């Protein structure tokens, strides 16, 4: 059992050294640009003494056994292991704080190896989500909260009203209206300080508001973003070291940071400044998850179309795409910070196929998808076209 762990450790060291050497080769005079790599390398070397007991060595079923649930039962009698003091000290300083939404981290080595060796990622249907009392339900997010399973959903594709339903362990409906939130469209979720927060994504609203499961509300302030800032749509929340960020677009990479007390927004990083709807074609789908040395998410790529304005139509097809961002470069705000993209094979041929959430439920990683064979138009409600809300697992082949 020790050999696979050593292989993973060596892989991590190799990737970290490559990043360090690349940044050092540019002979920057700003030492702070390479400090995160140095500290991260020290953590890895220090963790050699405790590697087998670290959370990252646990298994997430979506990458094991071709996406099937594991039947292995873990012992509840854990033998305490001595922690190396060097690793313990530095992990308190810069190790990313992972929200409890990620209850068992993924087998990240398998993800990274598959990514780096050009293996295929694909979506496999796990379960359809049916909100029987709301057949027009759209944009479903599935998540855990206080030991229960819930699903938020927009009451129809053209509404500005979101409900939260209660589901059983088989993802079957228990209650369709556990909670109601008005003025919430295409909600993306994130976990912060023991609460689940929803991001309103209405494109043409004059304001943007966050709502929580516990009834809190936070109005966002864009004054520091410039007079030409446009709210846009489909922000992807990411929690890094207990700070809340929104990925405004993936290509070009643009990231906002929000103060969760005041609601003030600032630009955290901009690869280049662009206007929403012009050359932003790859942007938010799901929320982001921090999984070891990368931030992962499922974005949305728009193909073969153009945007005709708020309240108009999208003449395009939307498909999911897998992305990741280096955590080291993110925390350092490195000039090398970029979003890497990877094709994600799916059963969708055309239409609107929106990835809504990337979440761990009952120790399994899921991608929630809402899809319909349609254009996103204001006449959709009268079109009679079908839509589906489903959970998928990511397979590697």
**What number is the average pLDDT over the span 187-198?**
95
Q: What DSSP element (H or E) covers 67?
A: none
Percent of the chain beyond pLDDT 90? Answer: 43
Residue 4 has pLDDT above 50, yes or no: no
Residue 385 has pLDDT above 70, yes or no: no
41 DSSP β-pair partners: none
Quote helix, strand, coil % in the chain, to nearest 5.
20, 35, 40
Structure tokens at 201: 């994504």
Residue 245 has pLDDT above 70, yes or no: yes
Report the distance separating Cα 101 and Cα 25, nearest Å: 38
Report the distance separating Cα 223 and Cα 29, nearest Å: 33
Report the distance separating Cα 293 and Cα 387, nearest Å: 36
**Please, what sign has the CA dihedral across residues 43, 46, 48, 50?**
negative
Specify whether the CB–CB gap between 99 and 239 falls below 8 A: yes
Q: Largest alpha-carbon pair distance within the chain? A: 64
Structure tokens at 345: 């094979």
Report the distance separating Cα 91 and Cα 392, nearest Å: 33
Structure tokens at 51: 């590697």
- Per DSSP, 328 falls in state H
**Cβ–Cβ contacts within 10 Å for residue 99, how many?**
17
Report the distance separating Cα 354 and Cα 372, nearest Å: 9
Structure tokens at 381: 């409600």
Residue 174 has pLDDT above 70, yes or no: yes
Residue 8 has pLDDT above 50, yes or no: no
Collapse the DSSP code of 81 into the 3-class scheme (helix H, G, I; strand E, B; otherwise coil) and give the result: coil
Q: Which of 309, 256, 249 is nearest to 281 (CA)?
A: 249
Question: How crowded is the C-beta side of 134, counted as CA atoms within 13 Å?
Answer: 24
Residue 247 has pLDDT above 80, yes or no: yes
User: Which pTM does this prediction carry?
Assistant: 0.71
């Amino acid at each position: 059992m020790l050999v696979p762990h050593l292989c993973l450790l060596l892989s991590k060291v190799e990737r970290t050294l490559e990043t360090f050497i690349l940044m050092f080769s540019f002979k920057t005079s700003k030492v702070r640009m390479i400090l995160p790599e140095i500290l991260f390398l020290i953590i890895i070397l220090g963790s050699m003494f405790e590697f087998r007991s670290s959370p990252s060595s646990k298994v997430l079923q979506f990458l094991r056994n071709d996406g099937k649930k594991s039947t292995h039962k873990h012992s509840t009698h854990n033998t305490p292991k001595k922690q190396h003091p060097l690793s313990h000290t530095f992990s308190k300083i810069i190790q990313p704080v992972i929200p409890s939404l990620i209850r068992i981290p993924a087998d990240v080595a398998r993800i990274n190896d598959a990514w780096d060796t050009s293996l295929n990622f694909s979506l496999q249907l796990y379960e359809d989500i049916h909100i029987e009392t709301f057949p027009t339900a759209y944009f479903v997010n599935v998540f855990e909260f206080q030991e229960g399973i819930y699903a938020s959903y927009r009451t129809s594709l053209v509404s500005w009203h979101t409900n939260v339903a209660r589901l059983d362990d088989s993802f079957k409906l228990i209650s369709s209206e556990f909670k109601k939130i008005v003025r919430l469209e295409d909600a993306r979720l994130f976990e912060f300080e023991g609460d689940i927060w929803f991001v309103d994504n209405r494109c043409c609203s004059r304001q943007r508001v966050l709502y929580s499961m516990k009834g809190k509300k936070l109005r966002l302030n864009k004054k520091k973003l410039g007079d030409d800032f446009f709210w846009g749509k489909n922000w992807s929340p990411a929690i890094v070291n207990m700070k809340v960020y929104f990925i405004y677009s993936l290509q070009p990479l643009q990231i906002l940071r929000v103060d969760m007390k005041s609601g003030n927004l600032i630009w955290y990083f901009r690869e280049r400044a662009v206007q929403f709807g012009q050359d932003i074609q790859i942007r938010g789908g799901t929320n982001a998850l921090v999984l070891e040395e990368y931030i992962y998410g499922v974005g949305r790529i728009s193909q073969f179309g153009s945007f005709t304005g708020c309240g108009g139509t999208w003449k395009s097809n939307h498909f999911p795409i897998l992305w990741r961002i280096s955590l080291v470069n993110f925390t350092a705000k490195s000039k090398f910070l970029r979003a890497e993209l990877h094709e994600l094979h799916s059963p969708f041929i055309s239409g609107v196929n929106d990835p809504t959430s990337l979440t761990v439920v009952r120790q399994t990683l899921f991608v929630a998808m809402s899809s319909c064979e349609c254009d996103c138009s204001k006449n959709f409600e009268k079109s009679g076209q079908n839509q589906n809300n489903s959970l998928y697992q990511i397979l590697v082949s």
